[in-house]
């Protein structure tokens, strides 16, 4: 009945799916790209760059924090967000392991 059946999948599969969610919305891709490029790291600046309301950006940041791929450093009255290197590395490994597998042409 519409409930996500996470229990029937492996920890690894669920984690990879969660990491993928960090990239599965263009706003979050844009946020991560900005953080990587150090174009902006303060919430307010991100709001300015993206065309979205502050509440919306804050929610995307919250989701990225939940996944663990970014961390927020409180620097009153601002919060400076940045990539969390260990989780970024985890994502690189996880996607790399799957994507670098050789794809064979023939099927069946």
Partner DNA sequence: GTCAATGATCGCAATATTGCGATATAAACT
Partner DNA sequence: AGTTTATATCGCAATATTGCGATCATTGAC
Distance CA 40, CA 80 (A): 9
Report the candidate in 52, 12, 15, 13 with the shortest Cα–Cα distance to residue 30: 52
**CB closer to DNA out of 59 and 93:** 59
Q: How far is residue 38's CA from residue 17's CA, in Å, rounded to a whole number? A: 26
Binding status of residue 83 toward DNA by CB under 7 A: no
Q: Which is nearer to a copy of itself, 10 or 62 (CB)?
A: 10
Count CB atoms within 10 A of the CB of residue 67.
Answer: 19
Q: Quick one: 75 or 93, whose CB is closer to DNA?
A: 75
Q: Does 22 bind DNA (CB under 7 A)?
A: no
DSSP H or E segment with residue 26: helix 26-37
Residues that bind a copy of itself (CB under 8 A): 4-6, 8-10, 13-14, 16-17, 20-30, 32-33, 36, 38, 41-42, 50-52, 73, 75, 80-83, 85, 88-89, 91-92, 95-96, 98-101, 103-105, 107-108
């Amino acid at each position: 009945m519409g409930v996500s059946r996470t229990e029937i999948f492996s920890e690894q599969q669920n984690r990879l799916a969660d990491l993928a969610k960090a990239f599965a919305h263009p706003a979050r891709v844009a946020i991560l790209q900005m953080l990587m490029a150090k174009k902006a790291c303060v919430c307010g600046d991100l709001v300015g760059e993206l065309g979205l309301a502050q509440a919306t950006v804050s929610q995307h940041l919250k989701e990225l924090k939940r996944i663990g791929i970014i961390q927020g450093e409180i620097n009153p009255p601002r919060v400076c967000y940045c990539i969390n290197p260990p989780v970024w590395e985890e994502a690189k490994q996880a996607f790399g392991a799957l994507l670098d597998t050789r794809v064979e042409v023939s099927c069946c």
